[in-house]
Amino acid sequence: MCDLDPKGREWRFYVQDMIEFAEAVLSYTEGLSQQGFIADRRTYDAAMRNIELMGEAASHIPGVVRDMSPEIEWRTIIGTRNRLAHAYLGIDDDVVWDIVQTDIPDLLPKLRRLLEPIGP
């Protein structure tokens, strides 16, 4: 398995990026209700941008790595990025809030496990 993408960057760095983007979203939204999140445009925009960046980073993870970690919904993460980037007027705030409250907290430990050393 090739550990480098065409730009010469190892896939593990993209996973680390995804973790950092996810942690930023959780940090930005900590203590907010859905209404507070939607009302605070800066927080909303920052969270949306980091969710988008998670999808962009995910698109750089090699297929063989994605195949080895089917518990991560790679296609959904990348598809969400595409939706945010191209259909900005059709974004459902309930879906975004569900991503923030449910999907990202569920995803973080799975991403962290990808970075754990293999073997003894």
pLDDT of residue 4: 59
pLDDT of residue 85: 84
Active-site annotation, residues: 81, 86
pTM here?
0.89
Task: Cite the DSSP H helix spans in the chain.
Answer: 11-29, 34-39, 41-58, 63-68, 74-86, 93-98, 104-114
- Which is more confidently placed, 2 or 47? 47
pLDDT of residue 9: 85
Residue 84 Cα distances to 34, 47, 51, 115, 120, angstroms: 18, 11, 8, 27, 41
pLDDT of residue 35: 97
What pLDDT digit, counting tens, does each position of 29-68 carry?
A: 999 999 999 999 999 999 999 999 999 999 999 999 999 9
Mean pLDDT of 90-113: 95
Residue 14 CB contacts under 8 Å (≥ 6 apart), including other chains: 5, 57, 58, 60, 61
pLDDT of residue 66: 96
Find the farthest-apart pair of alpha carbons in the chain and give their distance in angstroms, rounded: 50
Q: Which residue has the tokens 């900005």?
A: 88
Quick check: 107 pLDDT over 70? yes
Mean pLDDT of 82-110: 90
pLDDT of residue 117: 77
Count Cα atoms within 13 angstroms, Cβ side, for 105: 9
What pLDDT digit, counting tens, does each position of 91-101 carry?
A: 889 999 999 99
